[in-house]
Structure formats: structure tokens, C-alpha cells
């Protein structure tokens, strides 16, 4: 009977290692996007972008694996919908970091403004907090760590909103070239959206905490 019952008990080796791999992947991407915007050397930027692209593909593979495990697992460690949403939101963060990098190279945004650098820094900070929180959901013993990380992510997203709004205002005030405005706005928007996606991850984590309280 014990052997039969153990079949239905959620196993850490399925979902939690995959989530931890996905969040660690975000930390690496956050480090790289900071590195990208803090160099004007195009010869260095291209390889960094390629690394970000590879990590984004890695994230896609992890997300697909989580979906696959979800389809095969009878009893899950927490709500199936929350597992799916958590995987999706983490993947969204990776997508927007990659999108930011892609726009910088495609639009030849060769000079990073202080706002772009600040937003990249905030993205990297948020990814670290996502990773910290994800690593605690396997047993939900350190709920304070999770909630503190979620609070910080929300604060980072608010800071990103302020930086973004001010940067867009400055663009319209001090830049006359419409093409330049559009290019920089696209990059700023993608970076700010990455922090929005981190906040979405935090919201899912808080939902999981409430359901498992």
C-alpha cells in the first residue's frame, strides 16, 4: 500500500528542479542584459546578445518540459493552473529580456541612456528576487523569504514605471528625430515590460502561498 500511495505523492524531482532551472536562467539573462547595455562596443554586444538568445531558447525548453510533466502527472505539488501560469510568466520574463536585447541590436541603439541602464539594472534585480522566491516554494517553510521577495519585486516594478515615464517624457522634450524616439521607446518599453512580467511571477507566487496556507 505504501508503494501505491507513494506513486501519487508529488515528487520534488519533477516540477521544482525545473522551476529552479528556469529562475536561475533568468538570473543569467539579467546579468547579461546589464552587461549589454553597459558597453558601447558592438563587437562585444553581438556575442552577449547571442548568449541571451541561447538562454531564451533554454527557457523555452524548460517551459515545454514543465507543460509536458503537467500533462503526465496525476497529483501535482500545487494547483495545476498555478503551475502552468507560473511557468508561463517566468517564460514571459525571458521573452522580454531577449526582446530588449534584440531591439537594441536591430535598431542600432548604440548608446545606452541612463534610463536604459537603470531599467536593465532593475530587471536584473527582479530576476534575482524571482529566483530567491522560486527556490523556496518546494517546501513552503520559508514563507517570509518568498513574501519579502515578492514585495521587493513589486517595488522594483514601481521604480521601473517611474524611470520609464520620465525617460519617455525626456525623449519627447529633448529629441526631435522621430526615428530616434521610436527606437529608444521600443527598447525602454521592452525593459519595463520585463519588470511587469516579474511582478506577474510574484503575483502567482502569492496566489500559491494563499492557497497552500
What string of DSSP letters covers the chain?
-HHHHHHHS--TTTHHHHHHHHHHHHHHHHHHHHHHHT---HHHHHHHHHHHHHHHHHHHHHHHHHHHHHHH-SS-SS-HHHHHHHHHHHHHHHHHHHHHHHHHHHTT--S--HHHHHHHHHHHHHHHHHHHHHTTTTT---HHHHHHHHHHHHHHHHHHHHHHHHHHHHHHHH---HHHHHHHHHHHHHHHHHHHHHHHHHHHHHHHHHHT-
Q: Any idea which of 6-10, 159-163, 187-191 has the lowest mean pLDDT?
A: 6-10
Per-residue confidence band for 152, with pLDDT thresholds at 50, 70 and 90: very high
Give the model's pLDDT for residue 204: 97
d(CA 16, CA 24): 12
Question: What is the tens place of the pLDDT at every residue in 17-27?
Answer: 999 999 999 99
Q: Give the pTM.
A: 0.92
Q: Any idea which of 126-140, 149-163, 191-205 has the lowest mean pLDDT?
A: 126-140
Question: What is the tens place of the pLDDT at every residue in 104-125?
Answer: 999 999 899 999 999 999 999 9
Q: For residues 157-181, give the mean pLDDT.
A: 96
- Cell 517611474, residue located: 162
Per-residue confidence band for 6, with pLDDT thresholds at 50, 70 and 90: very low
Amino acid at each position: 500500500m505504501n508503494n501505491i500511495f507513494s506513486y501519487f505523492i508529488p515528487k520534488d524531482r519533477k516540477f521544482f528542479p525545473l522551476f529552479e532551472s528556469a529562475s536561475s536562467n533568468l538570473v543569467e539573462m539579467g546579468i547579461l542584459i546589464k552587461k549589454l547595455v553597459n558597453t558601447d562596443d558592438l563587437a562585444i554586444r553581438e556575442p552577449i546578445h547571442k548568449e541571451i538568445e541561447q538562454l531564451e531558447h533554454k527557457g523555452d525548453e524548460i517551459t515545454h518540459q514543465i507543460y509536458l510533466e503537467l500533462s503526465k502527472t496525476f497529483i501535482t505539488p500545487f494547483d495545476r493552473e498555478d503551475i502552468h501560469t507560473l511557468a508561463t510568466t517566468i517564460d514571459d520574463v525571458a521573452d522580454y529580456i531577449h526582446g530588449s536585447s534584440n531591439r537594441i541590436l536591430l535598431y542600432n541603439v548604440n548608446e545606452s541612456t541612463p534610463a536604459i541602464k537603470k531599467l536593465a539594472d532593475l530587471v536584473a534585480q527582479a530576476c534575482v528576487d524571482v529566483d530567491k522566491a522560486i527556490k523556496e516554494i518546494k517546501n513552503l517553510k520559508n514563507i517570509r523569504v518568498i513574501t519579502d521577495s515578492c514585495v521587493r519585486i513589486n517595488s522594483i516594478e514601481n521604480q521601473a514605471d517611474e524611470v520609464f515615464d520620465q525617460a519617455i517624457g525626456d525623449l519627447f522634450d529633448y529629441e526631435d528625430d522621430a526615428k530616434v524616439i521610436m527606437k529608444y521607446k521600443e527598447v525602454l518599453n521592452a525593459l519595463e515590460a520585463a519588470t511587469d512580467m516579474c511582478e506577474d511571477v510574484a503575483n502567482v507566487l502569492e496566489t500559491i502561498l494563499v492557497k497552500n496556507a
